[in-house]
Every structure is written in C-alpha cells, then in structure tokens.
Amino acid sequence: MTILLTGGAGFIGSNLTKQLLQEGKQVVCLDSLDSYYNPDIKWANVQQSLDHPHYHFHEGDIRDAELVNTLFRTYAFDAVIHLAARAGVRPSVQDPALYYDVNVTGTLTLLQAMQHAGVKKMVFASSSSVYGDSLQVPFTESDPSDRPLSPYAASKRAAELLCHTFHHLYGFDIFCLRFFTVYGPNQRPEMAISQFTDSILNEKPINVFGDGTTARDYTYVEDIVNGIIQSLENLRGFEVLNIGGSDPISLANLIQVIERVVGKSALINRLPMQPGDVQQTYADIRKATQLIGYQPTVRVEDGIKRFVAWYLVKYKTGLVI
C-alpha cells in the first residue's frame, strides 16, 4: 500500500511514519516544514526515516495544486492520510485568514487532486476543538459542532464538511478523526506538557491560564497512531470519529503529575483565560470502538512518565531545540 501522508514531518506524522514503515507500507511525506515552530525539529523527524527504502519526502505546501497533482501523477496512491494543518488554537485568533487558507483551501486542493487521480480513500485529522465549549460531556460525534470558539476550530469543522461533500459527490471513503489533545515523544515544543516539563526541570515559571480547573482529555500519541491505522484498515463511507483517551484530567492535576515524575515543584504564574480556550474536553469513544476497534491503552500518568523519559534523553543529548 502506498500512502500520501501530509504533515508527516510533524509530531503525530513522524510517529505514524515509523509505524506505517514497520508494517511494510510505502510512505510519501508532503510537509512544508513551516515556521510555526522550529523547522529544525521537523527536519530531524524526517531524517529518522530518510534512509528507509519505502520512504519518500517532498517539501511543499498542500495549497500548491501543481505540486500536489504532480505527486498524484508520480505515485500510485492507495490512500491519503491528511494531517497537515496550521496548528494552534490561540495563534489562530491573531491570524484567522492564514488558518482558513491552509486548513480549508489546502484540504480542498488535496480532495480535488484525489478526484482527478481516482484516489478515493482519506483519513482526515480533525480536532476536538470543533465541539466548542460544550456543556454536554462526554462529547459524542452527534453533538452540535456549529459553535466553534476559534478560527482554528472553525477551519477544522469546515474541512470536515468539505470531506463529506466529496464523499457525497464522488463516493470517497473518508473518516474524519477528532483528536483530543495529543502528547508524547516528538511533541511540539509550545504544547502544555512540553512547556511544563521543560520549565519545571529548569526551575522556570510556567504560565497557567485560569484557575487550574480546565480539563483536557489527553491522548498518548501511540493511541492516536493506532486509531489512524485502524481507520485506514476499516475505511468505508463517511464517518466522524472521536479518538481520545476518554479520561480527562484538570490542569492543576496534570501539573501535579508532571511534578511527581520530574521530582521538582512548579513555579506558577497565573494568568486569565485566553480567547478561544474551552473549559473541558472529554471524548465519548464508543463509536470508534464499535467501528474500528479503537481502545486507548496509555493512561495519563504512564504517558507522562514515558514523555519525560524521552525528553530527558533528548535534553541531555542536546536534541531538544
């Protein structure tokens, strides 16, 4: 099987690439190595797979229709795993046009290239942020998702709708996976667990937005990778699936877990809640369990231990950028 993996140099994509290659898949990675965070981190991820005979890397933008169509003419893709996106809820408030362009126009460019090439299978990475600040927990796929709180969330919901349109018009098989706060090795440096771990280790203050009662359904990247692969193996029709840990933890308790694992206390700088943030996320995963056999296996406490162990190795060897 030959797969076009967009955003394959990033956090989730690099972990997914390793697993796909281990399973004998051919992976063609398209990634712009954008500057949202240090591109050297993403390039280091790419280099881990460059020598593999079934891995091909192309630097470029999913909005570049000529490039995307050339890839479809060059390779006989069986499916697309579309992870590429402009990431970050809070930064999207400052530059909504960029988020719309990358996340919506980029997705449309891919879907049109698939149509022209006769490729009809896609796994699309969506986000739990599409639920907005829902008071009904856990979040189920049938809940209304028409009140997003950030341009990032709105762009992900719009891309989901585009995916359904191409399913309806052209018979595409597409699963839209709503990821819930992913963490683990290769995690982006601006994400909470990365920042908190680094700051606590180095005895620097951490910024805590709100009173610590906000809660997130953290999902270990290994479970996310398994959910993507299980979706790929069961692609049929159009579905929206929650892929989460289904075990939310408050911000205050998360910090306590990191403190215990690191062995140091956090210095906390309390700040007001930021625009676009939601109070809680919590995945109802019954549909994903039923349709694809998804079941998270790594609890937050164990996942934090694994992440900190990885981080310490990278930190000591000078590879944390």
Residues involved in catalysis? 152
Query: In terms of Cα–Cα distance, which of 81, 65, 66, 69 is closest to 28?
Result: 81
Q: Give the number of other Cβ atoms within 10 Å of residue 102's Cβ.
A: 21
CA–CA gap between residue 82 and residue 117 (Å, rounded):
16
Asked if residue 99 lies in contact with residue 92, where contact means CB atoms within 8 angstroms, the answer is yes
- Contact status, residue 159 vs residue 100, Cβ threshold 8 Å: no
Please give the DSSP secondary-structure letter assigned to residue 80: E
Backbone angles phi, psi at 245, to 5 degrees: -85, -20
- Cα–chain center distance at 179: 6
133, 159 in Cβ contact below 8 A? no
Question: What is the number of helices (H) and of strands (E) in the chain?
Answer: 12, 13
Q: Across-strand partners of 99?
A: none
| 194 sits in which H/E element | helix 192-201
DSSP 15-51: HHHHHHHHTT-EEEEEE---TTS-HHHHHHHHHTTTT
Residue 47 CB neighbours (<10 A): 11
- Per the DSSP assignment, residues forming a β-bridge with 241 are 177
Q: How far apart are the first and last CA of the chain?
A: 34
Q: Is 146 helix (H, G, I), strand (E, B) or coil?
A: coil
- What angle, 0 to 180 degrees and rounded to 10, lies between the N-to-C axes of helices 106-117 and 151-170? 20
